[in-house]
Amino acid sequence: MANTVFQKPHALCDVPLHYCPGCTHGIIHRLVAEAIDALGIEGRTVGVASVGCSVFTYNYFECDMVQAAHGRAPAVATGLKRAEPNNIIFTYQGDGDLAAIGTAETVHSAARGENITIIFVNNAIYGMTGGQMAPTTLPGQVTQTTPYGRDPQYAGLPVKICEMLSQVDGATYLERVAVDSVAHINQAKRAIEKAFRNQVEGKGFSLVEVLSTCPTNWGKEPAAAMEWLRENMIPYYPLGVYKDKYADEKGGSK
Amino acid sequence: MSEKVLMKGNEALAEAAIAAGCRHYLGYPITPQTEVAAYMAKRMPKIGGTFLQAESEIAAINMVIGVSSAGKRAMTSSSSPGIALKSEGLSYLAGCDLPALVVNVQRGGPGLGGIQPSQSDYFLATRAGGHGDFHMIVLAPATVQEMADFAIKGFELADKYRMVTMILADGVLGQMMEPVSLDFGEIKQFDKPWAAVGTNGGRRHNIVNSLCLEPTQLEQWNIDRYKRYEQVMANEQRAEEYMTDDADVICVAYGATARVTKNAIAMARAKGIKAGLIRPITLWPFPKKIVGAAAKKAKAFVSVEMSMGQMIEDVELSIRCSRPVLLCNRSGGMIPTPEEVLAKIEEASKMGGAD
Amino acid sequence: MAKISFREDRCKGCGLCTTVCPKKIVQLSRDRINSKGYHPAECIDESACIGCFSCGTICPDCVITIEREAAK
């Protein structure tokens, strides 16, 4: 008898994803779906899609979905959660959405301790609009709107969301992970599942920042993009748990 | 007759919204609508509801989107500058075909303007609630009782047509106290099979969404939505007619200015001028049928507004410019006096003539 | 003994799977093109597959399914 040890999770729709070859959104989608499967919550989960490359996530998850305006996903999620507190509500947002136009919604949903799960995909660039500077674009990084490299004297410095939110008392769990290697993907899987489990257990606001690639707008082959992430993003955005209110509990932080 | 209680307009509206089954109020403080929020903050915790003070008007309307997406009756209230901030959310509500009740207790503008009563968001409410092709149902109360009644009606219309209902009030109605009956009879509720409340494993996922990159399909969505708007225009036009039967001069005024205008009409009649009032209750759809029909008998119209002249365009459109329409207006928080309205009625009575 | 299968029409030929296989038996086909126009990933020596599913883990498009013989 053969056992299937790896396959598409049920919560991920059986449709082709529209992402570019090698785009890591697909990996992160799968990790989210695996968490939903593992916790058996598909029937009571509602996802909130944001604006950016991941806008079509509403077509990719088997659970009910709502598409939010740019940056407003945490506010929409707040409404969904307050309306149906037993439902599991997650948002899936990119860096432009969450860390630029939606900064207020991000900070204040954390401050309120909303019992929601936020998946924050940081690939240091605006993908959908064709590769402009993001709030998380690294110093010196070339984008369409920083053609000579991001000059911190002129365009400022990146926003570090996990570090920033770690100072917000209302937040429960903040972890930064990456999807550049199998080991890191497995860690990301644990973090995402934990961010959902926290909500199931009523523990409050959980956000997982996932360092991700954008091969197309970075102008790199998929494997080279992974390497670039490893060599440039991880040093600037160190991986790890930035906050875990329940770290001392059994099943808390690693 | 049911018992009446003395209430402020803003509070009567809030209590009626609760009677309508609204258990989610999401708002942000701004004068002169603060009583709505304060009342909800007191009441909601006692009835298992949610009062949430958001971090901004934008967040508040998006929380409304979340609650409404889950199929629950949700409302927010604000005043002119805050409503402008909600425009994005109003457009998304329309694009997602979500119902909601949005209250605009208007104040003078533009910019930060003032905090005194105004009707200068008429265009915002009836023409340009946000980007894209869409309409909101706009109700204009003129009494504290109507502030309450229109909250009930507003939720019903919103659910029935899957649209935003905006109650367009002003600082006068919000702050004014009058006796009000809170007996609303049976409250209509509507099935919402489209709501994002979890599949429970029993159906395909629901998607609440306004994005459509396929132009032919997006056009079809707009066409379908406008078919619903046509039904609203056909079924829901409302206006109060006051002494219009024999009127040579018809004033058109809504909300607080309609109250002033009634005084002016009494003064005109005492002087022998046959004046009457059409008070639009629905500003969108504008009561074109009623105003248009009035042009068959009346010689001239006066649009009475607390704005630089916005509703006057709908009056002219309704009568196809077949009669002169004068503007009697104040702005910036000033309210027209009965004497000012009377002067315009007198001027109008000397104009026009039978066909 | 592991069985690896590819849903070839979903493969975008990004090649990430080929970078993580410890046995170096996953590669992009040199001579075949799938319905999307990409050179799809394939396993060149299934007998060497240890069923670690590293390839599946890094695949963004859920192309890969892995089965393993159940323990007696």
| Facing residue for C61 by CB, picked from A5, A17, A185 | A17
What pLDDT digit, counting tens, does each position of B286-345 carry?
A: 999 999 999 999 999 999 999 999 999 999 999 999 999 999 999 999 999 999 999 999
Give the residue-averaged pLDDT of B161-190.
95
Q: Taking CB atoms and an 8 Å limit, are A7 and C65 in contact across chains? A: yes
pLDDT higher than 50, residue B354 = no
A94: closest CA of chain C, how far (Å): 17
Q: How many domains does chain C have?
A: 1
3-class secondary-structure state, position A2 = strand
The CATH number of whichever domain residue C15 belongs to comes to: 3.30.70.20
> Tokens standing for B183?
């007996």
Which residues on chain A are in Cβ contact (under 8 Å) with B208?
65-67
**Burial (Cβ within 10 Å: 0-12, 13-18, ≥19) of residue B339:** exposed
pLDDT band at B352 (very low <50, low <70, confident <90, very high): low
- Whether A7 is in a domain gets the answer no
Q: Chain A to chain B, count of Cβ pairs less than 8 Å apart? A: 136
Write the Ramachandran bin of A101: left for phi over 0, alpha for psi from -120 to 50, otherwise beta: alpha
pLDDT (0 to 100) of residue A246: 95
Residue of chain A with shortest Cα separation from C59: A27
Distance, in Å, from the CA atom of B309 to the CA atom of B328, rounded to the nearest integer, reads 8
Mutate to test the interface with A, among C19, C58, C68 (most CBs of A within 10 A): C58
Closest CA to B183 of B224, B144, B148: B148
Give the residue-averaged pLDDT of B17-36.
95
Closest CA to A222 of B143, B89, B334, C11: C11
Lay out the sheet containing B275-280: strands in order across.
B239-242, B275-280, B249-252, B300-305, B325-329
pLDDT band at B353 (very low <50, low <70, confident <90, very high): low
Residue of chain B with shortest Cα separation from A55: B211
A41: closest CA of chain B, how far (Å): 9
pLDDT (0 to 100) of residue B355: 46
The CATH number of whichever domain residue A141 belongs to comes to: 3.40.50.970
* Whether B and A touch (3+ CB pairs < 8 Å), yes or no: yes
What pLDDT digit, counting tens, does each position of C12-65 carry?
A: 999 999 999 999 999 999 999 999 999 999 999 999 999 999 999 999 999 999
Instruction: Quickly name the fold that domain B240-349 has.
Output: Rossmann fold (3.40.50)
Preceding omega of C40 cis (within 30 degrees of 0): no
What number of other Cβ atoms are within 10 A of residue C70's Cβ?
9
**Burial (Cβ within 10 Å: 0-12, 13-18, ≥19) of residue A169:** exposed
pLDDT (0 to 100) of residue A251: 52
Which residues on chain B are in Cβ contact (under 8 Å) with A67?
96, 207-211
What is the average pLDDT score of chain B? 96
Mutate to test the interface with C, among A182, A187, A216, A220 (most CBs of C within 10 A): A182
For residues B69 and A82, the answer to whether their CB atoms sit within 8 Å is no
Residues 6+ apart with CB under 8 A from B15: B7, B39, B43, B148, B182
pTM for the model: 0.96
What pLDDT digit, counting tens, does each position of B64-109 carry?
A: 999 999 999 999 999 999 999 999 999 999 999 999 999 999 999 9
Write out the residue range of the structural domain in which residue C58 sits: 2-68
pLDDT higher than 50, residue B110 = yes
What pLDDT digit, counting tens, does each position of B192-248 carry?
A: 999 999 999 999 999 999 999 999 999 999 999 999 999 999 999 999 999 999 999
pLDDT by residue, tens only, chain A of 254 residues? 689 999 999 999 999 999 999 999 999 999 999 999 999 999 999 999 999 999 999 999 999 999 999 999 999 999 999 999 999 999 999 999 999 999 999 999 999 999 999 999 999 999 999 999 999 999 999 999 999 999 999 999 999 999 999 999 999 999 999 999 999 999 999 999 999 999 999 999 999 999 999 999 999 999 999 999 999 999 999 999 999 999 977 654 44
pLDDT (0 to 100) of residue A250: 61
pLDDT (0 to 100) of residue C66: 96
Write out the residue range of the structural domain in which residue A84 sits: 25-244
Distance, in Å, from the CA atom of A45 to the CA atom of A36, rounded to the nearest integer, reads 8
CATH number belonging to the domain at B4-235, selected among 1.10.8.60, 3.30.750.24, 3.40.50.1000, 3.40.50.970? 3.40.50.970
- Whether A249 is in a domain gets the answer no
Q: How many domains does chain A have?
A: 1
For B98-137, give one letter per residue: b (16+ CB within 10 A) or e. Answer: bbbbbbbbbbbbeeebbebbbbbbbebbbeebbeeebbbb
- Whether A250 is in a domain gets the answer no
3-class secondary-structure state, position B226 = helix
Give the residue-averaged pLDDT of B270-278.
98
pLDDT (0 to 100) of residue B1: 55
Q: Taking CB atoms and an 8 Å limit, are B199 and A64 in contact across chains? A: yes
- Domain B4-235 and domain B240-349, same fold? Reply is yes
